[in-house]
Structure 1
Amino acid sequence: MRQFVSGNLNYSSWSIRPLLVVRKVELPVEEIILPLDFPETTAQLKAISPTAKVPLLRWDGTEIWESLAITEFVAEWAPPGAVWPLDAERRAIARAVSSEMHAGFQTLRQLCSMDIRGRAPTPDMTPALEADITRLQSMWSGLRTKYGSGGPFLFGAWSAADAFYTPVVTRFRTYGLALSGAAADYAAAVLADPLFRTLEEQAKLEPWWIKYGPGGTGRSAGYLNP
């Protein structure tokens, strides 16, 4: 059995990061979506995942349940350079910024939940949110300046780092957060990439919604047309 199990494409940022990697290299897997926050989904995930969470890669009897680990597995399966840059320095920095995304930007993620098809008011600018945005502006601009020759992405050619920051790019659009210069150009390139555009169209067609309470807490879910 070879399956990639994800949550809603519209909302599950943890899912779409490795999913974009899987799709980029055309990993031969069946894609399964389990919509989040429904009781039946929770039961299904408990039955197949060690953590009862998504994403999950099921590969010939092996279960890989964490987005960075899935990405590294796919990188070992794919040709060199397909997931991470070939150059050792670029590859190390790409992994570093991907890990930073994986563990950081808590305020942005809490106040600006991913909603690819949605548009929402810009949240109040707290010092913590401003710090996250400033770091992303600086990072994206700096990477584009130093490593961006040869393509529109962070390291020129597409890499897993772009997959990890795609959900962040969508947040800037959803909540009307401003970027400038090279960072704005990078965000525009991500949103125009056919890999993302395909996922975006699929997200728009999903029949489920998720709503959040204040500060991104208290999630509920339902069907758009019950």
Structure 2
Amino acid sequence: MKLIIGNKNYSSWSLRAWLACKQSGLSFQELTVPILGEDWEQQKRDSEELAPSSGKVPVLWDGDAVVWDSLAIIEYLADKVGRDRFWPKEDAARAMARSMVAEMHSSYLPLRRSCPMNVRARTRGASLSPEVRDDIVRILTLWAEARARFGQGGPFLFGTFCAADLIYAPVVSRFLTYGIPMPGFAQSYVEAVWEHEWMRQWFAAAEREDWVIEQFEVPVTQ
């Protein structure tokens, strides 16, 4: 398999797909493309590997099969290796995990726009709009419910690391970048995700990247 991803410092959806590949346990090659670089538009037009996704990342190639969109990649890999590797076994836990993943996939636009992922940055006292604060409260509420109901088996949302954790991993990064105040249970969860071996590998690679995308370096806006 080959996974095409964007800049590790900025590309939240690439992080999700990369974590999904790691979670699958399958061997894969990794190709990083410098999204929004000087020759990005030309590269999108010329690349056959990016063509099926219209130049968007991530893209997973598995022989003749091509999958784009992080959630589709999660589901494709779960079909290959067994769904229990990605989803809780208990019906109630699995139902909540699927709902949380779908909500993350389709929601929280104010948070995404105002607080882009930037692994290397740290901002304290960021000014957040009411809409961004509402997104944060909603996320923390879901985290609290998942941990209280299903998190007894480990430090992650449903105990062991699963699709819900990998889909919320960029949110963990955002909370740390923008100094989002959190209650104790959420701080413990954020630390568990941040210290995960795969996350440490990703963030170390992000630190080594030498390009900057100025539009994602802008401070939080209202």
Q: Which SS does the other structure have where 2:31 is aligned?
A: strand
Residues 64 and 80 (structure 1 numbering): CA distance in 2 closer, same or farther, change over 3 Å?
closer
In structure 2, the partner of 1:129 is 132
Q: Does 1:177 align with 2:191?
A: no
Q: Does 1:79 align with 2:82?
A: yes
Picking from 193, 214, 218, the partner of 1:211 is: 214
Mean Cα deviation higher: 113-122 or 2-11: 113-122
Identity score, percent: 36
| CA displacement at 1:3 relative to structure 2 | 0.8
Q: Does 1:156 align with 2:155?
A: no
Q: Does 1:191 align with 2:190?
A: no
Specify every segment of 5 or more residues in structure 1 that has no aligned partner in the other structure, as ranges.
Answer: 218-226
In structure 2, the partner of 1:224 is none
Task: State the superposition RMSD in angstroms.
Answer: 1.8
Picking from 53, 59, 65, the partner of 1:56 is: 59
Residues 89 and 42 (structure 1 numbering): CA distance in 2 closer, same or farther, change over 3 Å?
farther
In structure 1, the partner of 2:144 is 141
| CA displacement at 1:27 relative to structure 2 | 2.1
| CA displacement at 1:164 relative to structure 2 | 0.6
Matched-pair contact (CA < 8 Å) for 1:111–1:123 = no
What is the rounded CA distance, in whole Å, between the counterparts of 1:45 and 1:29 in structure 2?
22
Matched-pair contact (CA < 8 Å) for 1:24–1:195 = no
What is the rounded CA distance, in whole Å, between the counterparts of 1:88 and 1:120 in structure 2?
40
* 1:103-152 residue CA offsets vs partner (Å, 9 max, x unmatched): 11111111111011211244323211110111111111111001101110
In structure 2, the partner of 1:8 is 7
Q: Does 1:97 align with 2:97?
A: no
What is the rounded CA distance, in whole Å, between the counterparts of 1:124 and 1:118 in structure 2?
16
| CA displacement at 1:39 relative to structure 2 | 4.2
Q: Provide the TM-score with structure 2 as the length reference.
A: 0.91
Mean Cα deviation higher: 198-207 or 76-85: 76-85
Specify every segment of 5 or more residues in structure 2 that has no aligned partner in the other structure, as ranges.
Answer: none
Matched-pair contact (CA < 8 Å) for 2:126–2:179 = no
Matched-pair contact (CA < 8 Å) for 1:10–1:115 = yes
What is the rounded CA distance, in whole Å, between the counterparts of 2:100 and 2:214 in structure 1?
29
